[in-house]
Chain A
Amino acid sequence: MENLNHLFHGFSIAFSFWNIVWAASGVILGIIIGVLPGLGGTSGVAILMPLTFTIPPTSGIIFLSSIYWGALFGGSITSILFNIPGEPWSVATMFDGHPLAKKGKAGVALTAAFLPGFFASLISIILFTFFAPPLANVALQFGPPENFAVLLLAFSTFAGLGSGSIFKTLISTCIGFLLTAVGLDIISGHPRLTFGNIQILSGFSFVTATIGLYGIGEILYAAEESLKFEGAKVWVKLRDIGEVIVVLARRAQIFIQGTLLGFWIGVMPGTGATPASFLSYGVAKRTSKNPEQFGTGIPEGVMATESAAHAAGIGSLLPLVTLGIPGSPTAAVMLVGMYIWGLQPGPRLFLDKPDFVWGFIASMYIGNIIGLILCLSLVPFFAAILRMPYAILTPLIVLLCVIGAYTVNNSMLDIWLLLVFGVMGYLFKKFNYPIAPLVVAMVLGDITENALRQSLIMSDGSFAIFFRWPYAAFFMTIALTLFFLPAILNLAKRFRGQPPTATAELSGDS
């Protein structure tokens, strides 16, 4: 009941004129970012983040999260109409969405993405509303060892559930830690890894790194494959909506399963919408009575992926608000924003900044309603965005990145770092090194290191403190299990005489 009171208070904040404006503009920008194949939602949030530096934090988080909701909706438009993923999480939407569109049922395919996506968001936000406060209450009892265990969990999910090479994930994480180590050490007061350079004594800004790695990196990566699109004229008709509602009612199981699975994967730190969408599609196919129909263009396939992707998107913000660790790469960028606004993400937010937390939670309902209405009514306009010439879009994004990087410290050094990080982001993408662990390590590196060092001071050097009962032991066990999961699975396969395979290409920008 108390939560409901808080939520109503949150609505009174989220319904203020300017917050609605921020939510609506975030959703619109998000849909545009989602539709454009060269630009991911994570990059979009990173590039536009600097706009929020001078507005109130509540409006800031509403704006950034609304971009995320918009991108979740927008990605499916490109996948369905053009068979090119607008976002990594809408790759699985192509499997059935595009064949369905080719059968002349583009309207049904789009509605099968939007409507279940919206309902999945709604259910997830309700789960969020009631799960977040108790989780934050538990987290309030955490000391340094518990915090370290939770942070380790965030890093190990990248390694355990991430794509391809676990070693590349580890390298990426370690580089992130090393980058945060640069500058003055908080505990000893010594400069670290500065090579006598005074300019980097204050350390590298993770905002510059995020914008460079995602923004400039993606621009360079997208340059290799020049894509050209024709606009498409599709309207969603009322009949399409009716048809999808019938499917939704008849195959409610696929939808519910996708939503719950997506939410759970989203809450797990480090993963997010992309693995959720693949997993849900696979599960829906396996549990279906006629799995052979999947991939031929049935609304159920689109429903399964989109409900999971949207649910994961919402779920990934739950650990962000309650524990201060991001549930997805996009959430990691929002974490960057929260530090910039002077907030300490984590359980104390519920006590110290209730307006922020509940305004944000309430805005999720509003943002997703705006997203659904805009998508259903304006599909042709958003599809037309694909005709935006590449030669205009590229310099536009680069200039936005420059503004973002410069705004952090008003220093030209950040502009050059932007270029360095951009090249690094390009090479990482090129050689299949994951970027998200690096960014997360850069943002969380300091607090992880402090938690580690404080715990070891508490225990006088004994690592046993990280298995302190009950929470530290609990999180530590999950973290270690997840970390070694791929190795265990491969070993098990080897014993059964099957060749070991790498974990499927699941993660990515989500």
Chain B
Amino acid sequence: MQRAETIFTLGLFAGAVVLLINVLTTLNIGWTGRGPGDGFVPFWCLMGVLSCSLVVVIQSLWKEARSNSDAKPFIQKEGLASVTKVFLPIAWAFLLLNYIGFYLTAVVYMGFFMRWIGKHNWLLVIGVSILFPVAIYFVIEKKFFIILPKGYLGEVFPFF
């Protein structure tokens, strides 16, 4: 746990270094004729991230050295499996959204998740995964006039 936290914080540090180079090369961090330059606040915020993340890293290295063993892992194996199981379908669904639009994606994603993770019977899976998008359509699109992503399919079939 401690080690993963250190790596994460080092990641933040590295990100801040990249941004700092960008700020220093493109923005004015000092005084201009009209007050502080556009890089003033970003520069000091990056300084904040850099210095604080160093402190956090040192603190967690210190804790790790004192406890002498990394007893608590970042994440239990089953935990990792279930986070992945939730994350991957989300990522796939977001990708799918680009192609087949919101409503079909919703049917596919809900159906897949309910069947694969929840092991619900097909009747419930089909029922919920179709009824929910239909309800969304009537509430969001008809009542609130919000148009959801249509994807490439939407260009062919206007009702999507």
Choose one: B37, B42, B109, B144; the contact of A181 (CB below 8 Å).
Answer: B42
> A133: shortest Cβ distance to chain B, in Å?
33
Q: How far is the CB of A500 from chain B (nearest CB, A)?
A: 13
Within 8 Å by CB of A165, from B59, B98, B118, lies B59
Which residues of chain A (209-233) have a CB below 8 Å from chain B? Answer: 216, 219-220, 223-226
Q: Which of A177, A407, A457 is close to B34, meaning CB atoms less than 8 Å apart?
A: A457
Expressed in whole angstroms, the Cα–Cα distance for A152 and B86 within the complex equals 38
Across the interface, do A168 and B19 meet the contact criterion of CB distance under 8 Å? no
Cβ–Cβ contact A174 & B109, under 8 A: no
Bound-state CA distance A177–B47 (Å) is: 12
Cβ-defined partner of B106 (8 Å) among A51, A188, A399: A399
Please give the number of chain A residues whose Cβ is less than 8 angstroms from any Cβ of chain B in the complex. 63
Contact A431 B8 (CB under 8 A): yes
Interface residues of B in 73-123 (CB under 8 A from A): 74-76, 79, 82-83, 85-87, 89-91, 93-94, 97-98, 102, 106, 109-110, 113-114, 117-120
**Is there an interface contact between A165 and B56, defined as CB atoms closer than 8 Å?**
yes
A198 at interface, CB cutoff 8 A: no
Looking across the interface, which residue of chain B has its beta carbon closest to that of A419?
A: B94
CB-CB < 8 A to B56: which residues of A? 165, 167-168, 171
Interface status of A129 (Cβ within 8 A of chain B): no
Instruction: Report the stretch among A247-255, A291-299, A334-342, A389-397 that lies at the interface.
Output: A389-397
Q: Which residues of A contact B109 (CB under 8 A)?
A: 395, 398-399
Asked if B149 and A392 make an inter-chain contact with CB atoms under 8 angstroms apart, the answer reads no
Is B110 within 8 A of A174, CB to CB? no
Q: How far is the CA of A428 from the CA of B123 in the complex (A)?
A: 38
- In the complex, whether A447 has a CB less than 8 A from a CB of chain B is no
Task: Give the residue name and chain of the B residue nearest to A427 (CB).
Answer: B8
Given A167-B55, A171-B56, CB of A402 within 8 Å of CB of B102: yes
Q: A245 interface residue, CB < 8 Å from B? A: no
Residue B154, interface by CB 8 Å:
no
Contact B113 A391, beta carbon cutoff 8 Å: yes
A430: chain B residues at CB < 8 Å are 4, 74-75
Q: Residue A498 at the B interface, CB < 8 A?
A: no
Partner of A167, one of B28, B52, B102: B52
Instruction: Decide if A201 is an interface residue (CB 8 Å cutoff).
Output: no
- CB–CB B83/A220 < 8 A: yes
User: How far is it, in angstroms, between the C-alpha of A449 and the C-alpha of B39 when the chains are bound?
Assistant: 11
Say whether B113 contacts A449, CB under 8 Å.
Answer: no
Alpha-carbon distance A51/B143, docked complex (angstroms) = 10
How far, in whole Å, are A422 and B37 apart by their CA atoms in the complex?
A: 32
Q: Contact at A188–B38, with CB atoms within 8 Å? A: yes
B82 touches A224 (CB 8 A): yes
Contact of A175 among B49, B89, B148 (CB under 8 A): B49
Kindly list chain A residues whose C-beta atoms are within 8 Å of the C-beta of B49.
Answer: 171, 174-175, 178
- B-contacting 9-mer, from A73-81, A189-197, A348-356, A372-380: A189-197
Which residues on B sit within 8 Å (CB–CB) of A454?
A: 35
Tell me which residues across on chain A come within 8 A of B62, comparing CB atoms: none
Whole-angstrom CA separation of A94 from B29 in the bound complex: 51
A413 to B144, CA, bound (A): 22
Whether A192 and B39, one on each chain, are in contact in the complex, defined by CB atoms closer than 8 angstroms, is yes
Would A178 and B42 count as touching, CB distance under 8 A? yes
Chain A residues, Cβ within 8 Å of B102: 402-403, 406
For A402, list chain B residues within 8 Å (CB): 93-94, 97, 102
A193-B42 in contact (CB<8A): yes
Interface mask (A116-136 → B, CB under 8 Å = 1, otherwise 0): 000000000000000000000
Nearest B residue (CB) for A399: B106
Asked whether, in the complex, the Cβ of B87 is within 8 Å of the Cβ of A220, the reply is yes
B153 to chain A, nearest CB (A): 14
Give Cα distance in the complex from A403 to B91, angstroms. Answer: 15
Q: B157 — which chain A residues lie within 8 A by C-beta? A: none
- Which A residues between 301 and 347 are near B, CB-CB below 8 angstroms? none
Residue of B nearest to A182 (CB): B42
Distance between Cα atoms of A315 and B20 in the complex (Å): 39
Interchain CA distance A225-B75 in the complex, whole Å: 11
| B147 CB to nearest A CB, Å | 7
Residues of A within 8 A of B36 (CB): 452-453, 456, 461
For residue A4, CB closer than 8 A to chain B, the reply is no
Interface flag for A187 (CB, 8 Å):
yes
A416 within 8 A of B: yes
Q: Which residues of B contact A456 (CB under 8 A)?
A: 35-36
* B106 CB contacts on chain A under 8 angstroms: 399
A391 in contact with B45 (CB, 8 Å):
no
Judged by a CB distance under 8 angstroms, whether B160 is at the interface is no
Q: Mark A412-429, 1 if CB is under 8 A from B, else 0.
A: 100110110011001100
7 A-B residue pairs with Cβ-Cβ distance under 8 Å, sorted by A, are A167-B55, A223-B83, A223-B85, A391-B120, A410-B147, A415-B94, A453-B36
A-B pairs, 8 with minimum CB distance: A391-B118, A457-B35, A224-B79, A223-B86, A174-B48, A174-B45, A167-B52, A188-B38
